[in-house]
Amino acid sequence: MTIDPLVSELVEVINDEVRLFNRLLSVLQQEQAAIVTDDLHGIEAAVVAQQQLGQQAPRLEARRLRVVEQLAGQLDLGPGGASLKRLVSALEQEQGEELGRMRQALLDLNQKIRATSENNSFLIRQSMRYTEKCLDILTGQPLGRGMYGKFGRLRRHGGPRSLVNQTA
């Protein structure tokens, strides 16, 4: 088997991964907008879309790893040679440059996905804290949480305070 068909297949697989990662990034951005606007249906739709995309990603990755392994074998890269980074330097200049750009696109998308996902997690945690604080104020009872005070001791909030009539 010659190298060119394998390189073409690798380019195809990486392009599929780039498309998938772009869709995932778009879904995460939609989820972020839904979190900010408190759109529960939008959040649910984003989670379903993420699950579907998450099921496709391992199949593409396995296919890419298989092709990279085959290419590494064809190029006699030796043990530990089956990596996209090593292939980029081992292939002819034009093919190597193209794969290098594609590899960098994957890495950049991965970083954007991580950052957006971390931001979404932060927004959700903040929303939960806000909701808990509102419940504390409305019920007058902190939900089993305390605050650390001076010298690291757990300090409980003061007596009951509530905006809701608890005797009714």
| pLDDT above 60 (res 29) | yes
In this prediction, residue 94 carries a pLDDT of: 81
Here the tokens at position 3 are: 């190298």
Q: How confident is the model at residue 78 (pLDDT cuts 50, 70, 90)?
A: confident
Instruction: Look at residue 14 and tell me if it is in a domain.
Output: yes
Residues 14 and 106 sit within 8 Å (Cβ to Cβ): yes
In this prediction, residue 51 carries a pLDDT of: 95
Instruction: Look at residue 53 and tell me if it is in a domain.
Output: yes
pLDDT tens digits along 102-131: 989 999 999 999 999 999 999 988 888 888
Helix and strand element counts for the chain (H, E)? 4, 2
Residues 87 and 78 sit within 8 Å (Cβ to Cβ): no
Assign residue 24 the CATH number of its domain. 1.20.58
Domain range for 24 is 3-147
Instruction: Look at residue 42 and tell me if it is in a domain.
Output: yes
Instruction: Look at residue 165 and tell me if it is in a domain.
Output: no
Instruction: Look at residue 123 and tell me if it is in a domain.
Output: yes
| pLDDT above 70 (res 5) | yes
Instruction: Look at residue 153 and tell me if it is in a domain.
Output: no
Per DSSP (E only), the strands in the chain are 147-148, 154-155
| pLDDT above 90 (res 82) | no
| pLDDT above 60 (res 145) | no
Instruction: Look at residue 47 and tell me if it is in a domain.
Output: yes
The domain tally of the chain equals 1
In this prediction, residue 1 carries a pLDDT of: 46
Q: Specify the higher pLDDT residue, 145 or 7.
A: 7
Instruction: Look at residue 75 and tell me if it is in a domain.
Output: yes
Q: State which amino acid sits at residue 128.
A: M
